[in-house]
Structure 1
């Protein structure tokens, strides 16, 4: 087996459905197994996998064992020479895995690979490429100075060394994953990708970012940014420092102070955010399927028209709901359009191939939306 794609799921049935479909499209030319491990979802995620994707390996945990332990479980049964850790709220562009394979096979010194991640609004997610978050760098980030935290030496579209990658998409040799012990199970959620990236580089490899291929990461669908999230995220950073940095009173005091301030700032910000949605003047369905147009027209509350790809010649499109039919436009093309028309008061929804639902997310830190028709 060439590649094992591991998808950890928790209560995101529709996003998981799209994720698996996108992986299947992106691995047509690669011998691949897909392993879904579910952390005791209360929705019908597992039944959906059994019904729609019977050839996918499904592991059903009876309780939520966290990100690290669940992914390690799945990698233990994986048989691929390479493994990709993938979030369920993602959609992979066609050709992404082939680019990762080509890059890894070109150098024995490359550890893990990450790619350009965009959110549901078409905007780049800066955590796609980061530096090692030393206590000083993290304190600066908490105060709003992020240049040293992110791998700013690389532009979004460039390819090169980035020390820390994000766990939503991590592609590496299974042998390297096992060599460094996989994800540290002291982390329940958050921080484990930083820890794994760091261990890989400490083992003598260089992690790599590829900016020429994308993966859509809705982000926030699996996680609500509540008090528990804040405790886990900042607690994870404290675990990281205790494990990998020499401990002293000054460092511990600085980290604890920074963490407490950041938690207060984050909590205060979360409380004041208003959930405002832009007013849309029209909706456009990119499809050749007239039956799909009819079905969605009966569901969408604003006027909906079908259109061809020629519409994108109008660079001033704004205040528009774009609905992409993946049977008409591949993910790679959809992501290009989302990037082109981002930040123009537009919203984006995707109808995965052959599905009776559209999904999207209008904020990268909030739960995504699903419309079944």
Structure 2
């Protein structure tokens, strides 16, 4: 088998459904499997998978064992030459995996490959490509200087070697994952992707950022940026420093100061209220119950339009549109004023979207 797509899920049932439908389309011509590890979600994620995706290998954990352990469990069941560690709050294009296979097969010393990630408003996520977060680099980031934290030397649409990739999308050979012993389970959530990336680099492999495919990562679903997040994230960074860097009193003081500063400077998440004055729906037909819940007036079209008025909500119907076209359109329109995006998954009765990295997205049923 060529590919195993491993998705660790916790309580994001509707985003997971959209994700799985995009993955199913992307593996249509690939010898691949989908493994979902559910960390004891209180919602009906597992029932949805059994009903809609019977061929998915579903692993139901009895507790929430964290990101690292959950993914490690998934890998033990994987049969693929390649692994794709994928967040449940993502959307992949139809050709994402095909492009990654072609790229990965051409490399002799391949470590981890990451791709271009955009958020729910179509904007590029700079954590898609990062440098090693040494204490000095991390302290500079806390103080507002991100130039040395992100791998800005590689252009967004280009491909090149970078050190650190993000756990929302990680592509690597299963034997490399096993050689470095996978994710370190000392990390419950946050920091484990940095640790795995760094372990792979230290083992002599080359990590790459691959800018030729784009994946939507709604982000707010799995990374609520509140004080609890700050405490967990910088606690994870403390584990990383203790593990990978030589210790001394001065070093420990710098690390402690940086983590303390980051925690103190962290702010409560901003409540984002989106007010759209009209809707554009890319579909052939619309349910009346959905139409009644959308901002008025509504324009319905079955083709993507280039020019959209500001303060608009765009609804993409995956019954008539390809994910790759939707993603490209989001990127093009991301610079327009107050444009928000909603997604209608194929054969579903809900739309969803996310307008902020600090808050959960919106699911609207009809």
Q: Tell whether the structures are fold-level matches, with TM greater than 0.5.
A: yes
Which residue does 2:354 correspond to in 1? 361
Shift of 1:115: 0.6
Conserved? CA contact 1:112–1:171, under 8 Å: yes
1:156 Cα deviation (Å)? 1.0
Matched residue of 1:111: which SS? strand
For these two proteins, the number of residue pairs brought into alignment is 365
* Selected match of 1:321 from 313, 319, 324: 313
Give 1:184's aligned residue: 184
SS at match of 1:309: coil
Contact 2:113 2:171 in 1 (8 A): yes
The match for 1:258 is 258
The alignment's TM-score, normalised by the length of structure 1, stands at: 0.95
Q: Does residue 1:340 correspond to 2:332, yes or no?
A: yes
TM-score (norm 2): 0.97
Q: Match for residue 231 of structure 1?
A: 231
1: CA distance between counterparts of 2:287 and 2:274?
Answer: 23
Q: d(CA) in 2 for partners of 1:151 and 1:78?
A: 31
Cα shift readout 1:19-39 (whole Å, capped 9, x = no counterpart)? 110001111111111000011
Q: Which residue of 2 aligns with 1:74?
A: 74
Deviates more, 1:218-227 or 1:27-36: 218-227
**Structure 1 unaligned regions, length at least 5:** none
Instruction: Specify the SS of the correspondent of 2:224.
Output: coil
Aligned positions of 1:234-313 closer than 5 A: 234-266=234-266, 269-270=267-268, 273=270, 275-288=271-284, 290=285, 292-309=286-303, 311-312=305-306
Indicate if the aligned counterparts of 2:276 and 2:295 stay in contact, CA closer than 8 A: no
Quick check: 1:198 aligned with 2:192? no
Residues 220 and 354 of structure 2 are in contact (CA less than 8 Å); yes or no, is this contact kept in structure 1? no
| Matches of 1:56 and 1:111, distance apart in 2 | 27
What is the CA RMSD across the aligned residues, in angstroms? 1.3
1:172 aligns with 2:172: yes
* CA distance in structure 1 between the partners assigned to 2:129 and 2:174 by the alignment: 21
- Rounded to whole Å, the distance in 2 between the matches of 1:182 and 1:124 is 27
Residue 326 of structure 1 deviates from its aligned partner by: 1.1
- Displacement, 1:225? 2.5
Paired residues of 1:121 and 1:364 also in contact (CA < 8 A): no
Structure 1 residue 348, shift from structure 2 partner:
0.2
- SS class of match (1:7): strand
Q: Distance in 2 between matches of 1:44 and 1:249?
A: 49
Conserved 8 A contact 1:142-1:262:
yes
CA deviation profile, 1:166-193 (whole Å, cap 9, x unmatched): 0000011001000000000000000000
Secondary structure of residue in 2 paired with 1:306: strand
Aligned partners of 1:224, 1:211: CA distance in 2, in Å?
26
1:242 alignment partner, SS class: helix
Q: Secondary structure at the match of 2:268?
A: helix
